[in-house]
Amino acid sequence: MLLTREFSFEAAHHLTKLPSGPEPVHGHTWRLNVTLEGPVQPDGMVFDFVKLGDVVEKKVLKKLDHADLNRVVANPSAERVALWVWKQLEALPLLSAVQVWECEGCSVTYRGEREKERV
Ligand SMILES: [Zn+2]
């Protein structure tokens, strides 16, 4: 079963590798979905939503909320933010997907595929 908890954070960023040159700094209300996958345990849950919230708060939101993402992730596109979030949460044994919305209607989903990025 898939279990998803939704989060959001406010953060500024600018892309630095566009052919036209660096973007101006601007902000978004970013949305983040963290999905775990596993069987329903005898306690009736795949994973405790509260526990998942605590982990994401501590490992991700504390570092990204009201931050300049360029200070945390180089060239922070939604794609590169998703890779960074995955890395922070990698220790969660049931981690299945990280979805990041830069703005309404525009999201990326990373599921831990081996080829993450061509640099
Ligand atoms: Zn943007």
Residue 114: the pLDDT is 74
For 17, list phi and psi in degrees, rounded to 5. Answer: -120, 30
Would you give the distance in Å from CA 16 to the centre of its chain?
A: 20
pTM of the complete model = 0.94
CA of 12 from ligand 1 middle (Å) equals 8
pLDDT of the residue at 118: 72
104 in any annotated domain? no
Cα 25 to ligand 1 centroid, rounded to whole Å: 8
How does pLDDT run across 33-91, given as a tens digit for each residue? 999 999 999 999 999 999 999 999 999 999 999 999 999 999 999 999 999 999 999 99
CATH of the domain at 84: 3.30.479.10
Q: Based on the structure, what is the number of domains in the chain?
A: 1
Q: Are 34 and 56 in contact (CB under 8 A)?
A: yes
**Percent of the chain residues topping a pLDDT of 90:** 93
Residue 5 near residue 49 (C-beta atoms within 8 A): yes
Quote the ligand 1 centre to 23 CA distance (angstroms).
Answer: 9
Quote the ligand 1 centre to 62 CA distance (angstroms): 20
44 C-alpha to ligand 1 centroid (Å): 40
Q: Is residue 106 situated within a structural domain?
A: no
CA of 14 to the centre of ligand 1 (A): 6
Q: pLDDT at position 119, please?
A: 63
